[in-house]
Amino acid sequence: MASPPRTIRLTQGIEGSLRGGHPWAFADAVALAPGLADGEVVDLLDRRGEFVARGTVEPRSPLAFRAWTLDPDQRVDAALVVQRLAGAIALRRELLRPGVTGFRACHGENDHLPGLQCDLYGDVASLRTDGALGVAWEERFVGAVQQLLRPRAIVVRNPLLQDGEARVVAGTMPAAPAGGRDGEVVIEEHGRRFFVDVLRGQKTGFFLDQRENRDRVAQLARGRRVLNTFAYTGGFSVAAAQGGAAHVTTVDLAAPAVETARRNFALNGLDPAAHSFLAADAFDVLAELAARATGGAPPQPVAGLPTGSFDLIVLDPPSFAHSRKMVPRAEKAYEKLNELALRALPPGGWLATASCSSHVREADFLAYVATAAVRARRRVTIAAIAGAAPDHPARLGFPEGRYLKFALLRAE
């Protein structure tokens, strides 16, 4: 019989938020006992000494405690990892449409499995484990994935190990797919196919969270000239082209991603030569388009940018705020981007705009876009507000879980 977990105490009155579903206590809110190990299971008590939650500690991290359970009789161990992962997979079976072969099987804290993101790309599992917890619990996480998903290969990234580079920790990667490269697999989502580079790609290889938002863009694209900025490997671009866009321009700063976008067109039977692909800064592209629309001189003309205007613009920038301190800077960047895009759109044009920063709440994001509309002197109608795909659930009481905000707007 294992000895009971050691205890740590809250120094701030945040037990209400933990009991309400928030899974974290930061270092300034807890008093840690000396000698605790990374990932050690402890009981968190409130200031009166009453049990609040059982979870794991990371003594050297600002994120000091992650709650796993509010039940003092539940054991936090490898068996619980398996149980929680099984629950997460069962939820996907209920929520995903058939034929989706790339999906997030586990979304960490939001699936009550702290520290583990697990994406499945065909029969390859691509994991991102978080922090010192992820390092300490890697074997248990990998074991549970092995047992329940039986993938042919398991790839793990953790920012604290090997500079966050992908490591194949179990099995072997499949051979390169036709038209693809080593490290890539092909996934399918709602009739679209994509090369996903599991070893060298961003995040775990692909941005699965925008799947349903790509459907929204596809539905609007018919006959339109579409500009997809921050395109990565062209997810929204393929959706728009399949939806019947007259022309799609794909822009990303990362040249290899743009090259993959081109291959993703071919993979879907779309002729890349009929569309434009640019490795360029989206701010420069939008500044030029805004200048074109309003008659100003572009600060820096972008080579290869098609002439004329675009009537559907997608803005899906990376997180501009990795911490709360960065939010003011992020606000400026969102305002700038959205202002430029709104200036660039003709009357009746569409803007699909997103923010993936967990530190920016939906209401804040909409306020930034509203400021952008004022500056661009455009009247804007909200056609839809959405979040991440259903395989990226958010737990109630944990606003950070609703990190992805997506708005479909019409510029009048």
Residues recognised as catalytic = 356
Cα–Cα distance, 105 to 229 (Å, whole number): 28
CB of 257 to ligand SAH, least distance (A): 5
Residue closer to ligand SAH, measured from CB, 204 or 233 = 233
CB of 96 to ligand SAH, least distance (A): 18
Residue 388 as a binder of ligand SAH (CB under 6 A): the answer is no
Residue closer to ligand SAH, measured from CB, 138 or 284 = 284
Residue 277 as a binder of ligand SAH (CB under 6 A): the answer is no
> In this structure, what token pair is assigned to residue 119?
């994406």
Residue closer to ligand SAH, measured from CB, 254 or 367 = 254
Residue closer to ligand SAH, measured from CB, 11 or 219 = 219
CB of 209 to ligand SAH, least distance (A): 8
Residue 195 parent element (H or E): strand 192-197
Residue closer to ligand SAH, measured from CB, 281 or 364 = 281
Residue closer to ligand SAH, measured from CB, 29 or 315 = 315
Residue 311 as a binder of ligand SAH (CB under 6 A): the answer is no
Cite the DSSP H helix spans in 177-254.
211-220, 235-242
Looking at 113, 282, 305, 330, which residue binds ligand SAH (CB under 6 A)? 282
Residue 236 as a binder of ligand SAH (CB under 6 A): the answer is yes
Cα–Cα distance, 175 to 282 (Å, whole number): 34
Q: How many CB atoms lie within 10 A of CB 132?
A: 21
Stretch that binds ligand SAH, among 45-53, 97-105, 279-287, 340-348 (CB under 6 A): 279-287
Cα–Cα distance, 310 to 341 (Å, whole number): 10
Looking at 5, 151, 235, 393, which residue binds ligand SAH (CB under 6 A)? 235
Residue 230 as a binder of ligand SAH (CB under 6 A): the answer is yes
CB of 220 to ligand SAH, least distance (A): 16
Residue 288 as a binder of ligand SAH (CB under 6 A): the answer is no
Residue closer to ligand SAH, measured from CB, 58 or 119 = 119
What are the Cα distances from residue 85, in Å, to 18, 110, 111, 207, 384?
Answer: 21, 11, 8, 21, 32
Residue 304 as a binder of ligand SAH (CB under 6 A): the answer is no
CB of 252 to ligand SAH, least distance (A): 4
Instruction: Give how many residues touch ligand SAH by CB under 6 A.
Output: 20
> In this structure, what token pair is assigned to residue 260?
């993959």
Residue 368 as a binder of ligand SAH (CB under 6 A): the answer is no
Cα–Cα distance, 384 to 18 (Å, whole number): 32
Residue 259 as a binder of ligand SAH (CB under 6 A): the answer is no
Cα–Cα distance, 411 to 243 (Å, whole number): 21
Which residue in the block uniquely carries the two structure tokens 């009981």? 43
Burial annotation 149-171 (CB, 10 A radius, 16+ → b, else e)? bebebbbbbbeeeeeeebeebbb
Cα–Cα distance, 24 to 130 (Å, whole number): 13
* DSSP-derived 3-state class of residue 97: coil
Looking at 111, 316, 331, 335, which residue binds ligand SAH (CB under 6 A)? 316
> In this structure, what token pair is assigned to residue 61?
């991290």
Cα–Cα distance, 117 to 125 (Å, whole number): 10
Q: Considering only CA atoms, which of 231, 228, 209 is closest in space to residue 220?
A: 228
CB 285 within 8 A of CB 263: no
> In this structure, what token pair is assigned to residue 106?
């586990």
Residue closer to ligand SAH, measured from CB, 146 or 319 = 319
CB of 36 to ligand SAH, least distance (A): 36
For residue 192, how far is the Cα from the chain centroid?
A: 19
Residue 340 as a binder of ligand SAH (CB under 6 A): the answer is no
Residue 207 as a binder of ligand SAH (CB under 6 A): the answer is yes
Looking at 52, 118, 144, 231, which residue binds ligand SAH (CB under 6 A)? 231
Stretch that binds ligand SAH, among 6-14, 260-268, 278-286, 291-299 (CB under 6 A): 278-286
Q: How many CB atoms lie within 10 A of CB 21?
A: 17
Residue 283 as a binder of ligand SAH (CB under 6 A): the answer is yes
CB of 29 to ligand SAH, least distance (A): 32
Residue 252 as a binder of ligand SAH (CB under 6 A): the answer is yes
Cα–Cα distance, 313 to 248 (Å, whole number): 10
Q: Tell me whether residue 51 is exposed, middle or buried, using C-beta atoms within 10 angstroms of its C-beta: 0 to 12, 13 to 18, 19 or more.
A: middle
Footprint on this chain of ligand SAH (rule: CB under 6 A): 202, 207, 210, 230-233, 235-236, 251-254, 257, 281-283, 316-318
